[in-house]
Structure 1
């Protein structure tokens, strides 16, 4: 059996929904990269009794490692280290070297030279953050809060305590997983291969039928763990397996390609963004967006080096901008409405002309919750794609869900529309 781990994300702000948890999924993915199976991921508020209950629960589940995030600050409600020490029945002790490290960070940030006394409140905060459970290894901070790695015992798992701010946690991770307590805790891990196939336009029920058939067509398929997730209109098929099952996975992949090859756009975990940039092949692109409000352009510019192909975009939310900037004929909008394929085509052509790109894509639609028209319900989005040397193409799609969902699905659809056109060309 591989090494098992549990994750406890602490923070009332996360539990209450004020902020979205980014640490739990990130830590889970990194542990999976190490060959560690994450069996539980929980969230609790800044209450010692609740955290203690979570720690005891995970220990009862037989995990080898517990990772906690958050609760390492200097304030009174930051009690993770003290609670972990209570859980492990280890007294807290001052780590002199870590105390000096924290003080140096504080003096640097506050520009307080050595030899000048810090305020008593800061001294108390430093003292608090330099406390570690007996026998634990302190991990140097990337901010002001150090991490703590506590070794396992005969009856209790190892515990890795990390800070809450995601950038601090991620910066500390490489050092944390190389500490002796954590290396020992995950020594029994089994490294798995993980493969990701991505499809667009493939439903989970259709995939379920194929996977059911695969159980009889692919011998020993049970040796491959397959999970699926619908995300932003795309279906991710993630398979994990030991090295000996590689041939079994290859047969499964062949079956999926045979059944759904037209909808599968990646078998190597590449995203549609990766695929599309590869197919641009030196060509430049621009956007003209109404209902998506710049989300398509944002997907392009999220990538480092996007200035090599992304020239710019126009958020033509009002009809005046469609006509005045993109050159869409006013009579076209008056006659057909802004949400129409001819207007989408004119927007794409106008963007390519105004910005000077090789390719331009446009979106115009009704994201909701209001704005529906006869024959054009909420969720209607028209797309235009203008490529130099080709006839402009258009398509109309209907997307389900609320405003946010419609906009996100339309953004993904625009990227797939471009990628498919470039593949065909």
Structure 2
């Protein structure tokens, strides 16, 4: 079965959905890079009994390593370190050197941010964070919270537990110390390479992919294949040991033969990477004029560092007046065909190019809802256009879902239209 790990994500804010879990998926991928398969990711609230129950469940499942994230702060609901110490049979003691170090970090942060703090409260919070299970390894704080590697007490059995902070920046900054820790390395000594490959298709139903996989079922031994359909993109992720590489090569060939026309990413690159790489390789610049998406496409295009090399700017043109004043759309055209129309989408694309001097222009206009729809132009109707050097690609999309769904899917459609414009 190989080396396996379990992850416990703590925090009532994560459990109830107020905060999205970014740590579990990140840890799963980093563990895979180490050759450790992920067994389970469990999310629990800030309740000691629930955390202890999750630890017991994972330990009983036979994992070689358990990792937790969150619950290391100074407040009363931050109880992970204490619960883990008790679970591993190790009493906690004050680490005075760690207490001093945390105190210095807090003092520096307070001075830099102008916090008004009560010395007694600060001292109590610092002392709480410096309580360390006897025999545990301390991982140096990235923020104020130290991490811990807590082996099970002598005479007991079970995996070591790595206790990590909840803020993703702190957890990720602490990860190198985890991967070089002697206790962790001993626990995952049996790890082996675990390869992962991704293929992405566009506008293909899962039923078509399922038929391909059924036809090649006898040649898929050793492959763990996961499919996921998201907003029109069908993602096929395959995990396998090195000896199963020939089986994966056969699978990839079968996918290419059956779905080559819609396979936009045979190498796992995202649509964002494909589009931005093409813009850079071609030395092309781009500008947007967005109505219903209100700048979301421009934000996505500029998410990559160095995007100023190809993004010249974006126009948010919600009102008809803004469409005219900023993007140069003729008011008579809007009066004749309406703001949500293929003609206006094209005018927006051309206007973005002209006003910002870009090689490529994108125009988006639609009815995101939940109100504003009519029989002729219902909620979810979006017109898009990309334009370059006399070549124009228009598209009409009917997108289901709520307002956020319509806006997000419109941006994804625009990205695929850009891929078509750039790469054919």
Taking structure 2 as the reference length, the TM-score comes to 0.94
Structure 1 position 223 matched with structure 2 position 206: no
Partner of 2:290: 289
Contact 1:101 1:140 in 2 (8 A): no
| Moved >3 Å (runs of 4+) | none
Aligned mates of 1:372, 1:134 — CA distance in 2: 65
CA distance in 2, matches of 1:338, 1:387: 22
SS at the partner of 1:397?
A: strand
Aligned partners of 2:165, 2:213: CA distance in 1, in Å? 41
Match of 1:206, SS state, is helix
The residue matched to 1:420 in structure 2 has which SS?
helix
Three-state SS of the structure 2 residue aligned to 1:222 is: coil
**Alignment partner, residue 262 of structure 2:** 263
Distance apart, 1:229 and its partner CA: 1.4
Q: 1:207 Cα shift? A: 0.9
Secondary structure of 2:391 counterpart:
coil
Equivalent in 167, 192, 204 of residue 165 of structure 1: 167
- Asked if structure 2 preserves the Cα contact closer than 8 Å seen for 1:228 and 1:238, the reply is yes
Residue 367 of structure 2: aligned partner: 366
- Of the structure 1 ranges 178-187 and 145-154, higher mean CA displacement relative to structure 2 is found in 145-154
Q: Could you list the per-position Cα deviations for residues 201-242 of structure 1 after superposition, in whole angstroms to 9, with x for gaps in the alignment?
A: 1221211111111214xx3x1211111112232111111111
Shift of 1:151: 2.2
Q: The residue matched to 2:314 in structure 1 has which SS?
A: strand
Q: How does 1:19-58 map to 2 (within 5 A)?
A: 19-58=19-58
CA contact (8 A) 2:103 2:126 kept: yes
Q: Deviations over 1:363-403 (max 9, x none)?
A: 11111222222332221111111102x23331111112111
The question of 1:209 aligning with 2:211 is answered: yes
Report how far residue 63 of structure 1 moved: 1.2
Distance 2:213 2:329 in 1: 48
For the pair 1:78 / 2:78, whether they are aligned, the reply is: yes
Between 248-257 and 153-162, the greater mean CA deviation after superposition: 153-162
The correspondence of residues 379-394 of structure 1 with structure 2, limited to 5 A, is: 379-388=380-389, 390-394=390-394
Per-residue CA distance 1:147-173 (angstroms, 9 max, x = gap):
000124652111000111111111111
1:417 aligned counterpart, secondary structure: helix
- Tell me, in whole angstroms, the C-alpha distance in 1 between the residues paired with 2:313 and 2:366: 21
Q: Which residue number corresponds to residue 276 of structure 1? A: 275
Cα displacement string for residues 8-58 of structure 1 (whole angstroms, at most 9, x for unaligned residues): 111112122222221122112211221212111111111111111111111
Match of 2:115 in 1: none
Q: Secondary structure at the match of 2:329?
A: coil
Are 2:174 and 1:179 equivalent residues in the alignment? no
- Unmatched 5+ stretches in structure 1: 113-117
Residue 406 of structure 1 is matched in structure 2 by 406
Counterpart residue number, 1:115: none
Q: Is the 8 A contact 1:361 1:384 kept in 2?
A: yes
Contact persistence 2:85–2:150 (CA under 8 A): no
C-alpha distance in 2 between matches for 1:157 and 1:128: 25
Residue by residue over 1:273-326, the C-alpha shift from the partner in whole angstroms, topping out at 9 and shown as x without a partner, is 111122221010000111111111011110000000000011111111112221
1:375 aligns with 2:387: no
CA distance in 1, matches of 2:199, 2:306: 25
Mapped partners of 1:133, 1:290: distance in 2: 56
Q: Structure 2 regions of 5+ residues with no counterpart?
A: 113-117
Q: 1 CA distance for matches of 2:231 and 2:24?
A: 21
2:89 counterpart residue number:
89
The two structures, once aligned, show a CA RMSD in angstroms of 1.6
Cα distance in 1 between the residues matched to 2:403 and 2:207: 25
**Contact kept in structure 1, 2:70 and 2:166, CA below 8 Å:** yes
Q: 2 CA distance for matches of 1:155 and 1:356?
A: 68
1:245 and 1:253 map into 2 onto residues whose CA distance is 13
In the alignment, which residue of structure 2 is the partner of 1:341? 342
Contact 2:340–2:367 (CA under 8 A) maintained in structure 1: yes
